[in-house]
Amino acid sequence: MKPVTITAMSTLVADEAIFIDESPFSFCIVRRRGRSLKGQPAVVVTPQIRGRNHTVIAAISPTRGLLHWEIKVTEPDEEFLSKRKGSKKKKTRPKGVTRDVFRSFLINLFATPAFQSASKPFTLLFDNVRLHLGDIKDTIFQAGHEQKLLAAWSPALNPIEY
């Protein structure tokens, strides 16, 4: 199945449109630049503690407002191997929002009262990220809704970006 992309000819009804996006952030972001007197270097003190990243996944509607949101905390996957056998600690890349996390978000979204009481199917709009592709379309189709992807060059068309 090929994903459907919104073109200039597509029209949407505000009641049926739901915008979905994820936005990562960290609580430990520190400014790397500072102000100082002329001719003196700016001294910046950064903490050594690194916090976990968080990702907010949210769904909004132009007429109904915020429908559903979830926060995913990024935790590193670590695999410790036995040092007695000559192996070392193997550390893998931390995982944020994966296709499985996004699918479970959609399933929880479909269980909200706004979706349960809807008489018409909704059109779910999100950007062209790799995790939005694949079998996600099947999950949306089985729930009786439609998926449309925004063009890769136009993330500003999604109001949840703001």
CB 3 within 8 A of CB 130: no
pLDDT digits (tens, 9 = 90+) for 26-65: 777 666 667 788 888 887 666 666 677 888 899 998 888 8
Alpha carbon distance, N-terminus to C-terminus of the chain: 31
pLDDT of residue 46: 65
Greater confidence (30 vs 133) lies with: 133
Q: Would the pTM of this model clear 0.85, i.e. be above it? A: no
Taking the C-alpha atoms of residue 49 and residue 100, their distance in angstroms, rounded to an integer, is: 30
Scan for tokens 């500003």, then name that residue.
156
